[in-house]
Structure 1
Amino acid sequence: MNNINLIEKETKNIVLSILPNINGEDLSESSNLFSIGLDSVNAMSLVLKLQNSFGIKFEINDINAENFQSVATIVKLIEQKQG
């Protein structure tokens, strides 16, 4: 499994842990996380879990609706942070 697949798998697991009413079959790479239950409170939890899991630090301007709209956008951001 290549790095991007590992990032995507771990990101999905973290999202599912934060949104307990969503199951893996309902969460695609392009699912809009805000439309399936992500809000400002659990979004901060998502940010912290992603930072801890991937050993990265998001800057304040990284934390916006566009970057956290879907698993795909989060994976892209994590890839950029890992450089």
Structure 2
Amino acid sequence: MKNIDLIKQETRNVVLTVLPNINSEDLSESSNLFTMGLDSVNAMSLILKLQNNFTIKFAVNDINAENFQSVATIVKLIDKKQG
């Protein structure tokens, strides 16, 4: 299990690789990823990269706009998954 700060940093890094037009400085914990360019195609890429990075598996009902709205909501979901 990883601590919350490490989860935040790794999640930010993954989001930045999926959304290459976003600068690190522009991405806050509460930035809305959908308004920053996250769409259904790169959302799937994000989900796969997060699962690989954190060695977790998202359930079908985990994959929704609410859970992937921001770095903060993703971190909360990952933390819950790592239990």
Counterparts of 2:3 and 2:23 in 1: how far apart (Å)? 23
Instruction: Give the percent of matched residue pairs that are identical in Structure 1 and Structure 2.
Output: 78
Following superposition of structure 1 onto structure 2, how do residues 17-56 of structure 1 map, counting pairs within 5 Å? 17-56=17-56
Task: Report the counterpart of residue 70 of structure 1 in structure 2.
Answer: 70
Counterparts of 2:23 and 2:32 in 1: how far apart (Å)? 14
1:33, CA displacement in angstroms? 0.1
RMSD over aligned CA atoms reads 0.8
Structure 1 segments, 4+ long, off by >6 Å, are: none
Task: Report the counterpart of residue 80 of structure 1 in structure 2.
Answer: 80
Task: Report the counterpart of residue 6 of structure 1 in structure 2.
Answer: 6
Counterparts of 1:56 and 1:18 in 2: how far apart (Å)? 18
What TM-score do the two structures reach when normalised by structure 2? 0.97
Counterparts of 1:82 and 1:35 in 2: how far apart (Å)? 28
1:74, CA displacement in angstroms? 0.1
Gaps of 5+ in 1: none
Counterparts of 1:75 and 1:27 in 2: how far apart (Å)? 14
Counterparts of 2:25 and 2:50 in 1: how far apart (Å)? 21
Which shifted more, 2-11 or 47-56?
2-11
Gaps of 5+ in 2: none
1:80, CA displacement in angstroms? 0.4
1:25, CA displacement in angstroms? 0.1
Tell me the amino acid that sits aligned with residue 32 of structure 2: N
